[in-house]
């Protein structure tokens, strides 16, 4: 019995090695491509890998087995990472850029599903990869123990499969492929291009973009506050996708009616965001620097550059520059680049209510606290404000959904506790993609409703520029969605709004399908020009 087990063990190793290699080579790098048919293919790398293990001399079997195992582990890691980044950011995993963002990914993931669940998921993934590696190493060692005549038959079978498969591959037969060389080469090329891209960005930084100093700028709005508001995940799909337009378009029409009653005019257009699904800070950096910042590497370099931010230009022109960042809960050294005089991060906003899962506070409280802690003191001191505000109620996991209340009742935020405890948990919501999409558009609707009410109430002597930071993830938009986000200009100064209309903005709060679309970085110079021209 024992002898029989030992005899079968090498063949069991061949089976295990085949299963692992086949899975690694055929696993798609997109979630929507994972079907039974996806694995019903012949990867030519599989017989070649097994032949290599059988052909090497005895003294090289262990190091070659380890090398093959590590290659398979690398392929599996890259494909799983591809699936994640494609779902989140609609692009493949880039080792050069994305490794740096693992901490941010952990913060979002743990904030969405809970620290314990996130730790368990990550630990399970790491243990799973380790188990796969150890299983393959065991299988590779057993495979090489197959003796003749079984060894000869196995080699002959693998050679035959390779020859017939290779011929079929050359004849473009379906379901026969050799993708791994090009897959790994493309990843290496992606990394090389990313390094080269940094040299291009260095050139752009050395050349500079726009004015180097704010003195003498913005004369056209010198008697007004300028409030720049980024709305989380507010993309073109929210306005035009039939699944969402039935909610968003009536809301925008309602907002337009509300602000017009308050004496405000509006115009809207589109801008192309440098990111999708997340990494909001890239959008902030792009708009405020005037440079295209579409990677963490570019952003990190920008933060230590001399390229002046729009915030800094306003500060040099006499405005009090304020950051309102309810999502910032840790140290924020990047703030030094922007040149703020006052930073209202999560703790500074003094919210006493309960968080809405990852979302630290609802948008209405953020805006109310900004008026109380930012604008009111500045006005009392006779200062004009330039504020950069990030609204986050429409950030994943999109549950619970906040509701607008009377502004006079906002207080310290504790009134929102009941709302924060309402609704289903992220785990329940995210079990159903349709439910996720429904929750998403409800949070966008809330943010837009809140903004309409806010501008109508606090819009005196103010120019508002409101835009999305990026499109949401593919689960919301579907694949290959536009990267455009809406941008709105709102002010009681109708002549100023008319300037934007002459540039290509459409009157009102709804941009049209044919309305002009700018790269987000170019909008900085548009704002400088239209705010500065007599």
For 398-456, write each residue's pLDDT tens digit: 999 999 999 999 999 999 999 999 988 888 898 899 999 999 999 999 999 999 999 99
- Distance between CA atoms of residues 35 and 531, nearest Å: 54
CATH classification at residue 453: 3.40.720.10
CB 374, CB 340: distance < 8 Å: no
- Give residue 17's pLDDT band: very low, low, confident or very high (50, 70, 90): confident
What is the percent of the chain where pLDDT is above 70?
Answer: 95
> What per-residue confidence (pLDDT) applies to 111?
61
Mean pLDDT over residues 132-138, rounded? Answer: 85
Secondary structure E strands in 211-316 = 225-231, 265-272
pLDDT exceeds cutoff 80 at 25: yes
CB 308, CB 212: distance < 8 Å: yes
Residue 310 lies in a domain: yes
> What per-residue confidence (pLDDT) applies to 386?
97
pTM: 0.75
Number of domains in the chain: 2
CB 227, CB 389: distance < 8 Å: yes
CB 251, CB 301: distance < 8 Å: no
For 503-516, the pLDDT digits (tens) are 999 999 999 999 99
CB 305, CB 512: distance < 8 Å: no
Q: How many CB atoms lie within 10 A of CB 534?
A: 4
CA distances from 84 to 32, 77, 234, 307, 493 (A): 12, 11, 21, 33, 46
Instruction: Compute the residue count for the chain.
Output: 534
Return the structure tokens found at 146. 């197959």
- Distance between CA atoms of residues 508 and 223, nearest Å: 24
pLDDT exceeds cutoff 60 at 307: yes
| 166 and 243 fall within a common domain | no
Domain span at residue 55? 2-194
> What per-residue confidence (pLDDT) applies to 107?
64
For 320-360, the pLDDT digits (tens) are 999 999 999 988 989 999 999 999 999 999 999 999 988 99
Residue 315 lies in a domain: yes
105-109, 205-209, 264-268, 330-334 — which one is most confidently predicted on average?
A: 264-268
Helix (H) / strand (E) containing 322: strand 320-325
| 171 and 316 fall within a common domain | no
| 172 and 252 fall within a common domain | no
- Give residue 114's pLDDT band: very low, low, confident or very high (50, 70, 90): low
For 154-196, the pLDDT digits (tens) are 778 888 888 988 888 888 888 888 888 889 998 999 888 888 8
Residue 201 lies in a domain: no
DSSP of 160-177: HHHHHHHHHHHTT-TTEE
- Distance between CA atoms of residues 290 and 284, nearest Å: 10
Residue 209 lies in a domain: no
For 464-498, the pLDDT digits (tens) are 999 999 999 888 998 888 999 999 999 999 999 99
Residue 211 lies in a domain: no
Residue 202 lies in a domain: no
Residue 285 phi, psi (nearest 5) = -60, -35
| 172 and 92 fall within a common domain | yes
| 188 and 243 fall within a common domain | no
| 230 and 151 fall within a common domain | no
> What per-residue confidence (pLDDT) applies to 511?
95
DSSP of 344-378: EETTTTT--S--BTTB-S-HHHHHHHHIIIIIHHH
The mean-pLDDT minimum among 56-70, 274-288, 297-311 falls in 56-70
- Distance between CA atoms of residues 365 and 352, nearest Å: 10
- Distance between CA atoms of residues 428 and 396, nearest Å: 14
CB 10, CB 145: distance < 8 Å: yes
| 323 and 472 fall within a common domain | yes
DSSP of 184-196: HHHHHHHHHHHHH
Name the more confident of 532 and 112.
532
| 189 and 228 fall within a common domain | no
CA distances from 33 to 36, 185, 312, 475 (A): 9, 21, 47, 14
> What per-residue confidence (pLDDT) applies to 5?
47
CB 388, CB 323: distance < 8 Å: yes
The mean-pLDDT minimum among 106-120, 292-306, 394-408, 470-484 falls in 106-120
- Per DSSP bridges, beta strands 385-391 and 225-231 are parallel
Return the structure tokens found at 388. 């950069």
Mean pLDDT over residues 73-85, rounded? Answer: 87
| 250 and 185 fall within a common domain | no
| 370 and 470 fall within a common domain | yes
CB 234, CB 394: distance < 8 Å: yes
Mean pLDDT over residues 59-76, rounded? Answer: 88
Name the more confident of 118 and 318.
318
The mean-pLDDT minimum among 31-35, 89-93, 138-142, 253-257 falls in 89-93
- Give residue 127's pLDDT band: very low, low, confident or very high (50, 70, 90): confident
Average pLDDT of every residue of the chain: 89
| 375 and 515 fall within a common domain | yes
What is the percent of the chain where pLDDT is above 90?
Answer: 52
Name the more confident of 430 and 372.
372
Return the structure tokens found at 464. 């508002």
Residue 116 lies in a domain: yes
> What per-residue confidence (pLDDT) applies to 2?
40
pLDDT exceeds cutoff 70 at 109: no
Residue 57 lies in a domain: yes
| 475 and 401 fall within a common domain | yes
From 145, 174, 194, the end of a domain falls on 194
- Distance between CA atoms of residues 486 and 237, nearest Å: 10
- Give residue 3's pLDDT band: very low, low, confident or very high (50, 70, 90): very low
């Amino acid at each position: 019995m024992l002898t029989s087990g030992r005899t079968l063990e090498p063949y069991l190793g061949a089976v295990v090695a085949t299963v692992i290699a086949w899975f690694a080579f055929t696993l798609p790098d997109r979630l929507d491509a994972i079907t039974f048919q996806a694995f019903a293919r012949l990867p030519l790398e599989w017989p070649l890998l097994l032949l290599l293990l059988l052909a090497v001399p005895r003294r090289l079997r262990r190091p070659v087995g380890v090398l093959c195992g590590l290659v398979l582990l690398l392929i599996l890691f890259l494909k799983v990472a591809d699936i994640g980044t494609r779902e989140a950011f609609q692009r493949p995993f880039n080792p050069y850029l994305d490794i740096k963002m693992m901490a941010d990914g952990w913060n979002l993931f743990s904030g969405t599903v809970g620290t314990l669940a996130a730790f368990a998921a990550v630990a399970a993934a790491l243990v799973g990869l380790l188990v796969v590696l150890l299983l393959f190493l065991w299988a590779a060692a057993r495979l090489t123990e197959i003796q003749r005549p079984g060894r000869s038959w196995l080699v002959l079978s693998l050679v035959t499969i390779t020859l017939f498969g290779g011929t079929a591959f050359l004849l473009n037969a379906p379901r026969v492929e050799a993708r791994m060389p090009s897959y790994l080469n493309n990843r290496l090329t992606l990394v090389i291009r990313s390094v080269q891209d940094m040299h291009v960005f260095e050139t752009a930084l050395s050349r500079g973009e726009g004015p180097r100093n704010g003195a003498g700028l913005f004369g056209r709005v010198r008697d007004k506050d300028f409030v720049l508001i980024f709305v989380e995940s507010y993309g073109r799909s929210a306005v035009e996708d039939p699944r969402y337009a039935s909610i968003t378009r009536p809301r925008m029409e309602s907002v337009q009616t509300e602000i017009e009653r308050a004496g405000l005019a509006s115009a809207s257009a589109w801008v192309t965001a440098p990111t999708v699904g997340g990494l909001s800070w890239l959008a902030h950096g792009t708009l405020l620097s005037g440079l295209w910042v579409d990677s963490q590497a570019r952003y990190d370099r920008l933060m230590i550059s001399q390229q002046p931010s729009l915030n800094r230009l306003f500060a040099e022109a006499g405005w009090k520059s304020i950051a309102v960042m309810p999502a910032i809960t840790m140290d924020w050294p990047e703030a030094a680049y922007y040149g703020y005089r006052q930073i209202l991060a999560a703790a500074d906003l003094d919210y006493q209510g309960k968080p809405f899962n990852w979302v630290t506070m609802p948008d209405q409280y953020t805006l109310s606290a900004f008026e109380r802690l930012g604008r009111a003191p500045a006005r009392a001191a006779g200062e004009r404000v330039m504020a950069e505000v990030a609204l986050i109620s429409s950030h994943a996991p999109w549950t619970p959904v906040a509701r607008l209340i009377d502004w006079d009742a906002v207080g310290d935020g504790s009134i929102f506790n009941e709302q924060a405890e309402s609704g289903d948990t992220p785990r329940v919501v995210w079990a159903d993609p349709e439910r996720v999409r429904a929750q998403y558009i409800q949070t966008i609707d809330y943010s837009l409703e809140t903004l309409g009410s806010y501008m109508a109430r606090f819009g005196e002597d103010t120019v508002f520029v409101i835009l999305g930071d990026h499109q949401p993830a593919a689960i919301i938009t579907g694949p290959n969605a536009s990267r455009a986000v809406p941008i709105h200009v709102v002010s009681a100064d109708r002549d100023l709004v008319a300037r934007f209309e002459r540039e290509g903005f459409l009157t009102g709060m709804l941009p049209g399908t044919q309305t002009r679309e700018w790269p987000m970085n170019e909008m900085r110079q548009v704002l400088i020009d239209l705010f500065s021209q007599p």
